[in-house]
Chain A
Amino acid sequence: MAVTTTHLKRCDLIALEGRYDSSTAPEMEAALRAAMDAGVFRIVLDMGKVDYFGSAAIRVLVMAFKECRRWNRGDVRLANVPSRVQHVLELAGISPLVTTFDEVVLAVGSF
């Protein structure tokens, strides 16, 4: 489980790796919170190395969507979403609300 944040010119890129259950989702929340506290509301989440994404992680994602999109100031966009995670986002009704990209460079370039 690792969270790596890279500050880019137009957005922050946060790469998630490993398992995000109710014990580890707070680390993902802390990274998102740090970006937003620094005034960055355009965020790309690289999901390529995520093994598991439970309801606690989905809750964090929804919180970040709400906060970043407020007053049209930004968005959280997803890249490299593994098919099993995609399936769970669909079950949870999240996928219609999210913009996803096959590659990080496309997600970053979309801002």
Chain B
Amino acid sequence: MGTLAYRESQPGKQSEMCVLSQPTNLARIAEFVGSQARRAGLDEDAVYDIQMAVDEACTNSMNHAYEGQGDGLVSVCCYEDETDFVVSVTDHGRAFDPGTVPEPRLNAPLEEREIGGLGLYLMRKLVDRIEFSSDKMLGNRVVMRKHRKVRPSGCQSPE
């Protein structure tokens, strides 16, 4: 099932993609976020980081919030402000409290590795700032920020 809605506005404004909660849509989301991040001036390493964080956020929405049911909606919204490229991922599935997910034990021997919680852990590592909210009306929302390299104001070329 393809993209349900796609809205693109002027550079600097927000663009949004809305898909059904089916993991086959993850590649399409990565492409969308990648093109928006490049347009916001992120370098390729930063583009990869934000794509991966968004991929993990959407995977959580699909597999946990919607419990693997493919008929929910996941909305991915990209915009930029003065300092950051920002992506929000919103779903209207089961409420989610990231505080209840234990941190993965990254130093444990292989036999004792429980890989639950790894996606969440990677999301936190890959972006500069992350916020979670859960609201009956607004749904579950993850907002992730990656710093843009902003040109110092003193370096502008003379007109």
Contact = CB atoms under 8 A, between A and B. Distances in A.
A56 B56 CA distance: 9
Q: Classify chain B's interface size.
A: 20 to 34
B143 interface: no
Interface string B103-129: 010110011010100110110011000
Nearest to B25: A23
A58 interface: yes
A21 B110 contact: no
A88 B51 CA distance: 13
B27 A21 contact: yes
Contacts, number: 63
Interface string A11-36: 00000000101110000000000000
A109 to B, nearest CB: 24
A8 interface: no
Contacts of B42: none
B156 interface: no
Interface residues on A, range: 20 to 34
A59 interface: yes
B21 to A, nearest CB: 11
Interface string B1-41: 00000000000000000000011101100100000000000
B107 A93 contact: yes
Contacts of B75: none
Given A21-B55, A69-B110, A93-B104, A55 B27 contact: no
A97 B109 CA distance: 8
Nearest to B116: A59
A2 to B, nearest CB: 14
B73 to A, nearest CB: 17
